[in-house]
Chains A and B, each alone.
Chain A
Amino acid sequence: GAGVSQSPSNKVTEKGKDVELRCDPISGHTALYWYRQSLGQGLEFLIYFQGNSAPDKSGLPSDRFSAERTGGSVSTLTIQRTQQEDSAVYLCASSGGLAVWEQYFGPGTRLTVT
């Protein structure tokens, strides 16, 4: 596609429910990143994919968070048993090859846990 897309754009869920966030990277980009941004804060790294594998999962906040990427394209971030502290904007980015420094971001999913 022309850019990185994410869905849904907004998600309101009740505490304890599971949510799935989707990211569709730029076509041909092999690297895909998930970040979390709380209001007025910086970007917190969650996980990184090179192709379908995730070399580094150390940023995932807890075992309630998981992510997968299939076909070297679409990625899904799943949060189980959501908590209020999970409320944030979840951003996905992709980059071509080893150009880690130039990432293209999607519009984000704003997650609100009530």
Chain B
Amino acid sequence: GQSLEQPSEVTAVEGAIVQINCTYQTSGFYGLSWYQQHDGGAPTFLSYNALDGLEETGRFSSFLSRSDSYGYLLLQELQMKDSASYFCACEWHSYSGAGSYQLTFGKGTKLSVIP
């Protein structure tokens, strides 16, 4: 089976840095994605790590350690608009049926940015 663990809630101050951790147990693991979802909105893709290390995209960075089954999303220079839920998602290969690559999502971390 696939399981992902991430904190349910995080609060941080505007302008600060926050790290959202994600640990996973996934057979057939290929990579780790991060998605952002504002209240009432659809999830939007933020980043993807297939290899160990840090990927940087503007104020957002994502890290993966395959040996530790661990990753994190780092948000810098927090803005009020960053208040949203953040989901980590494992890409894995399913051998069920004809086989496929799928994403399994964590339950999400609700980030609240306060002034």
Contact = CB atoms under 8 A, between A and B. Distances in A.
Of the four ranges (under 10, 10 to 19, 20 to 34, 35 or more), the interface on chain A belongs to 20 to 34
Contact of A101 (B43, B91, B97): B91
A53 to B, nearest CB: 7
Given A45-B104, A100-B91, A103-B103, A57 B97 contact: yes
B87 interface: yes
A111 interface: no
A105 B89 CA distance: 14
Contacts of A101: 30-31, 33, 45, 48, 50, 89, 91, 103
A53 B107 CA distance: 28
Interface of A: 33, 35, 41-43, 45, 48, 50, 53-58, 91, 93, 98, 100-108
A81 B9 CA distance: 36
Contacts of B105: 35, 42-43, 45
A56 B91 contact: no
Interface in B67-103: 87, 89, 91, 94, 96-103
A3 B45 CA distance: 13
Contact of B100 (A43, A48, A93, A105): A48
Contacts of B106: 42
29 contacts: A41-B107, A41-B108, A42-B107, A43-B89, A45-B105, A48-B100, A48-B102, A55-B96, A55-B98, A55-B99, A56-B94, A56-B97, A56-B98, A56-B99, A58-B97, A91-B42, A91-B43, A100-B91, A100-B102, A100-B103, A101-B45, A101-B50, A102-B45, A102-B48, A103-B45, A104-B45, A105-B42, A105-B43, A107-B41
Of the four ranges (under 10, 10 to 19, 20 to 34, 35 or more), the interface on chain B belongs to 20 to 34
B98 A53 contact: yes
B33 A102 contact: yes
Contacts of A48: 100, 102
A96 B91 CA distance: 15
A104 B91 CA distance: 15
